[in-house]
Amino acid sequence: MVGYTKAYKRGGAPPTPKEPGIYKNAVKAPHRYFWNKSPSKIVIVVGANREGGVEKWKEPREWKTENTAIQDKRRYALRHGYDVVVKDLTFQKKHSHEHREAWAKFDILREAIRDHPEAEWFWYVDMNSYIMMPEISLEELIWSHSESISRDKTEYFHGKPSKTDSRMPYVDYDEPVELIVSQDCLGFNLESFFIRRSEWTDMLLDVMFDPIFYKALHVKWVREEASALEYFYDEQAWVRSRVGFMPFRHFNSLARGCADSDKPYLFTYNETDGDFMVNMHNCRNRGDRNCHDEMEYYAQLAEELHSSWFTNLFG
């Protein structure tokens, strides 16, 4: 994490790209004002639910929560010169027997990649999240800390023991990293991840919805895209060769009460550690939680953290 270290953080083997991209020597991105129309190399893709859910109508507080989250991402993108797109998950009903919100992340990423031909990296982030350290650019957060990217799935995993065979043949860790993810106590977490435009990415997006695999295995993939991606990582050497992992809290800390783990500190947001973003995971589907109240709390906390810094500096 930028600006501090965590006790549980261990350095992983950094990737060595065969063809270094624009982030080989990452620097802080300059501000890009509204009159500068040059395309950004980074696009933030926000998965939204703008038209309402499939089980009930959206209430005014839900609209306010989404607007708060979207404005947060737009302010951050404007500050660092990124593009941001808000994609509606409700229109991505890939399979007729499923909820519209399911199996949509990679579909909307495909659209974003097609619509932004000049961009190199795409940051997908779910709606119910709030950036707590907006002064930190993605270049600083991710690519200036490539030594924290591990190619070993078990490096930062703190859940049940993995069944992954580390001796899979034909895995080439000299290949460049094209997908950067983190893992919660259940496995791959796809509520915040980074993916690079490439032929490898095109292949991955195609195979994720391969009808043969889907028909045979979708019942077992209880966590939708996360389970599917983990399956292909475990079974396909070409997928594993280009996936990198970072500590969970590096760019995707959970709100208090979200982590179903005996070590919640590994996953839960902590403002004293300077965590970059807080994710209100599953706040819509648990009766003891409220997305609106949680979003308002963290938005207010972010304001207080930065106003305190300003007050301390200027008296």
Given this model, what pLDDT does residue 52 score? 56
Strands (DSSP E) contained in 20-175 are 42-48, 83-88, 121-126, 129-131
Rg of the Cα trace of the chain? 19
CA distance 200 to 238: 8
Task: Tell me: pLDDT of 27 over 90.
Answer: no
Is residue 11 domain-resident? no
Q: What pLDDT was estimated at residue 237?
A: 92
**Residue 264: alpha-carbon gap to chain centroid:** 19
Q: For residue 28, is it within any domain?
A: no
The answer to whether position 20 is within a domain reads no
50-59, 212-221, 270-279: segment of lowest average pLDDT: 50-59
Structural domain boundaries enclosing 118:
42-314
Whether 13 is covered by a domain: the verdict is no
Classify residue 276: in a domain, yes or no.
yes
Structural domain count, the chain: 1
* Residue 27 resides in a domain: no
**Quick check: 150 pLDDT over 60?**
yes
Q: Hey, which of 116-130, 214-228, 229-243 has the most confident mean pLDDT?
A: 116-130
State residue 138's pLDDT score.
Answer: 96
Q: 130: phi > 0 → left, psi -120 to 50 → alpha, else beta; which?
A: beta
Q: For residues 13 and 179, which has the higher predicted lDDT (pLDDT)?
A: 179
pLDDT for 198 beyond 50: yes
Higher pLDDT, 159 or 292: 292
Q: Write down the pLDDT at residue 103.
A: 65
Here the CATH number for the domain that contains residue 75 is 3.90.550.10
Inside any domain, residue 79: yes
Q: Hey, what are 50's tokens?
A: 């703008």
For a pLDDT cut of 70, what percent of the chain falls above it? 67
**Looking at the domain assignment, is residue 10 inside a domain?**
no
